[in-house]
Amino acid sequence: MKITIRLIVSLIFVVALVAVVFSFYQVSNENDRLTDELKRRTIILAESLQETVKPLVHSNSIPKLNRIVERFGNRERLKGIIVYDNQGNVLTSTPDLMPKISQPLPDALSSITENRPIDGFITIDGRRTYIYVLPFSDEEEITGALAIFHDASYIDVRLKDIWENNLIRFLTLSALIVVITLLVVRWSITGPIAQFAEWMRELRAGKGKSKQPIAFSRGDVLAPLISEVTHLAKSLSIAHAKAEEEARLRVQAEALWTANRLKEHMRVELGGKKLFLISNREPYMHIQDGSSIKCITPAGGLVTALDPVMRACDGVWIAHGSEDADRETVDENNKLRVPPEEPAYILRRIWLTKEEENGYYYGFANEGIWPLCHITHTRPIFRLEDWVYYQKVNEKFAEALLEEIADEESPLVLIQDYHFALLPLLIKEKRPDAKVAIFWHIPWPNPEAYGICPWRQEILIGMLGADIIGFHIQFHCNNFLDTVDRFLESKINWEQFSVERGGHITRVNPYPISVDFDISASERKDIIQRKEQLLKEIGVQARYLGVGVDRIDYTKGIPERFRAIERFLEKYPEFVGEFTFVELGAPSRTHIKRYRELMTEVEEMVDKINWRFRTKTWKPIVFLKAHHGHEEINRFYKASDICMVTSLHDGMNLVAKEFIVSRDNEDGILILSQFTGASRELRDAVIINPYDIEAAADAIHLSLTMETSESSERMKRMRAVVKEHNIYRWAGNLITDLARLRAADISG
């Protein structure tokens, strides 16, 4: 025990010494950096103001001087400004500053007398303040001076934080040292001796043969005593390890989320309560197919995840009825039970006029909020008439929901996406007992980018009506809290990631969405046969095949992707005639001018690259512009060597995960943009910056020349991630958190 204590004390002493030395060094550097930065900013401000103030002092324009001082005197960390004449008398100053400064100011007199800038630190109101005095002259005659006072107390706060943080690190390291030292001594010395002694005692008594012997390291002090039992210990250890691995795999298999598990889990969590779901897109659509009506299910993870939940709780799904036969299939209350083959819950359709759809959906949602949140250098367009329609449609959905929950006690409401930012507050105003969650499927920008929205406060206030706001990743949660902190009076709890405003608490949590990992649907077929068949269908002869699957949207980085392919063929000409990239592009939002322009740009770029490189039997890019079904897309996923996801900004991007699920042969490479939420989970993809064309071109080369063993290991790890974190887990976590808010209120 004495040896252990001496070892711990020695290690802590060394750590303390290193921590103190490095803390002094860090504090010194930080103090110098912040002080230099403060001085530099002050000098720049003083020199810029000097040009304005000097002629006003010469002409004795005191009112204009006052206005300048008032305008610049309320900047962040700027305590104030004083302008002196050539005798050191005050001409004008920031009002709050004069009573706190001794007059005449010695630094001002010295600066005027010596005709040079003077700076230093003084104390005002108990806070360290930086003063900078700059004289100015008119034809070599001193006419006055400008004094700027900057609050420098933030430097002391920063230095104090460094000391406190380093103290916490030291205490944490000390605790870890104590724990690790005790564990090492216990595991390496005292523990093995006691265990081996016990095993020998039982062996001598005839009981040890049925027990696993203790495994010791070679070279241990006890090695001479265990040489006779090495083979026995090894064989039993292997058997034990196999048994543990089998048990682990069984537990893991039971822990996977499936549609059935989600359904049963929600039945328990909801306790017979209905779930009320609101989305712009409906889960089942009716279209005119000749003389008959056909029911189709739109592609997408949202319906895949939430349809089992709605079936389990006999819920109500409210959505925009947008198809040509939707009105013909509902009752007098605009409802029908779905799915058609086995009705289990209610779909209520909301009807919008063309003007409402253009203003709310194409206008404010997709020309305003969409580019605002994605920050992809497409300027958001905010029109007052679009904002009016956006409010009107949100109110229309709120009215429909309030009718549905009229007889429900503490109803559970789940709202989907940026189309309904105002809806949470509209619901809470009429039904404060409702538990409301909104999931934001797109990124949330930083406060500076968000601040350009004319109705920024209204949107935030509307969203904060929810009890839970969900984003894909923690980074977007942080951006949202920063935005609220910037634009609203509220209390931010950074430990709990919540916002308290007007007595209401909103939790802001990450819920990374995913796809269905359906192993049974995986068709095992030789990848070479798949590739040859597809290449024959598109009329190309090639050795390597790449695929991209996108809506034609400016956030997806399609032009950047094609530039990378062009540069790849320039840098690595040996792949000319060998590599073909197929882009499955679905036209999207063609009502909007920017999307029509993008489609033209993409088509022209494909023509340009193909004209430059193509041969009689080969071309580098095949652009298939159409709405492709899941089965068709899956064929390309399975046959391709690489999949490129080059989004310039994306909340998650499910194409990346769909490609991984399709790779039942556990091969292939995913090239993934670092600006997608998926890149946080799929770390074994080849991560790129899509704006860096050179690096993206090299990434294509790396992917096509990577060893099969490495690509296989990467794909196995990514498939394990997607399998565990699938779409049903996303839905289960989000709805469980919402349901437990209601349970907590009832128990409280």
Are the C-beta atoms of residues 347 and 335 closer than 8 Å to each other?
yes
Are the C-beta atoms of residues 278 and 416 closer than 8 Å to each other?
yes
Count the neighbouring beta carbons within 10 Å of the beta carbon of residue 39. 15
Token pair in block for residue 97: 């500053």
Question: Which residue carries 């039997």 as its tokens?
Answer: 617
Structural domains in the chain, sorted by start:
2-157 (3.30.450.20), 264-351+395-447+462-510 (3.40.50.2000), 527-725 (3.40.50.2000)
> So what's the pLDDT on residue 743?
66
Which pTM was predicted? 0.65
Which residues in the chain show pLDDT less than 50? 207-212, 218-219, 221, 230-253, 520-524
Backbone dihedral region of 661: left (phi > 0), alpha (psi from -120 to 50 degrees) or beta?
Answer: alpha
Count the neighbouring beta carbons within 10 Å of the beta carbon of residue 332. 5
**Residue 325: what are its φ and ψ, rounded to 5°?**
-115, 10
731: Cα within 13 Å, side-chain hemisphere: 28
> So what's the pLDDT on residue 661?
93
How far apart CA 199 and CA 214 sit, in angstroms, is 8
Per DSSP, the three-state class of 192 is helix
> So what's the pLDDT on residue 265?
87
**Residue 67: what are its φ and ψ, rounded to 5°?**
-65, -40
How far apart CA 669 and CA 671 sit, in angstroms, is 6
Are the C-beta atoms of residues 4 and 12 closer than 8 Å to each other?
no
> So what's the pLDDT on residue 414?
96
Q: Pick from 515, 423, 508: which is nearest to 471 by CA?
A: 508
Q: Pick from 128, 60, 131: which is nearest to 94 by CA?
A: 131
List, in order, residues 6 or more apart from 323 with CB less than 8 Å away: 285, 286, 287
Largest CA distance in the chain: 110
Per DSSP, the three-state class of 413 is strand
Alpha carbon 99 to chain centroid, angstroms:
49
Per DSSP, the three-state class of 419 is helix
List, in order, residues 6 or more apart from 348 with CB less than 8 Å away: 316, 317, 318, 319, 333, 334, 335, 400, 404
